Structure 1
Amino acid sequence: MTGITRTSADLDPRRRRILFRAWHRGIREMDLVFGQFADHELAGLDDGDLDELETIMAEEDNDLVQWILGSRPVPDRYQTDLFARIASYRPDFDPASAVGTEVQS
């Protein structure tokens, strides 16, 4: 998946802002994680989940990518069901498994 698949037409203004921010993170890997999560789950989140999502999304992308990829432990404050659900949208970022990326010498 390379971009937004959900329309924001049926979303309230808060969810529209979150959806836009989810797909415009600054690091493409985080666009894919948060964007896919938002596409699939944003409409069903309650206000508490939206608050938590906005708090998570306020973190630095470099920290988020390391937590989601497992290269750094997830802080205790994000050891939540919502963070685990977000992280489950992690695409395969392993460059060794990417098609057409072999280096010729």
Structure 2
Amino acid sequence: MTEQRDTRIKRLKMRSMRRGIKEMDLILSAYADANLAGMTTGELDLYDALLEENDQDLYQWVTGQAATPARFGSLIGEIAQTFQN
């Protein structure tokens, strides 16, 4: 059975705010609240894949301490921009 869009968004929001480190909880939950509802299915797929990544890696990518993998480049840029605003 396919997950309904609203259920998927709720799941992604929960995963965004229940991370391994508090900094990523704050960063990803702010991004999720501001953006998930307006994302396409493909964008949600990419965000879902991003949530599978290690928090320490995500934090370094968002803060510019490490190079972001190409597939996540624009998404990490958006997340960093949302958090800085």
Q: TM-score, normalised by structure 2?
A: 0.85
Task: Provide the identity percentage.
Answer: 39
Match for residue 72 of structure 2 among 75, 78, 82: 78
2:83 is matched with which residue?
90
Q: Do the aligned partners of 1:36 and 1:89 also contact (CA within 8 Å) in 2?
A: yes
TM-superposed deviation, 1:90: 3.1
Aligned residues: 80
CA–CA distance in structure 2, aligned partners of residues 60 and 15 of structure 1: 20
CA–CA distance in structure 2, aligned partners of residues 49 and 35 of structure 1: 16
* Structure 1 segments of 4+ aligned residues over 6 angstroms from their partners: none
Any gaps of 5 or more consecutive residues in structure 2?
Answer: none
Q: Do the aligned partners of 2:31 and 2:83 also contact (CA within 8 Å) in 1?
A: no
Matches within 5 A, 1:1-105: 12-80=6-74, 82-90=75-83
Q: Do the aligned partners of 1:68 and 1:90 also contact (CA within 8 Å) in 2?
A: no
Structure with greater Cα Rg: 1
Q: Do the aligned partners of 2:30 and 2:82 also contact (CA within 8 Å) in 1?
A: yes
Q: Where is the helix percentage greater, Structure 1 or Structure 2?
A: 2
Q: Do the aligned partners of 1:19 and 1:39 also contact (CA within 8 Å) in 2?
A: yes
CA–CA distance in structure 1, aligned partners of residues 20 and 67 of structure 2: 22
Q: Do the aligned partners of 1:66 and 1:72 also contact (CA within 8 Å) in 2?
A: yes
AA partner of residue 59 (structure 1): E
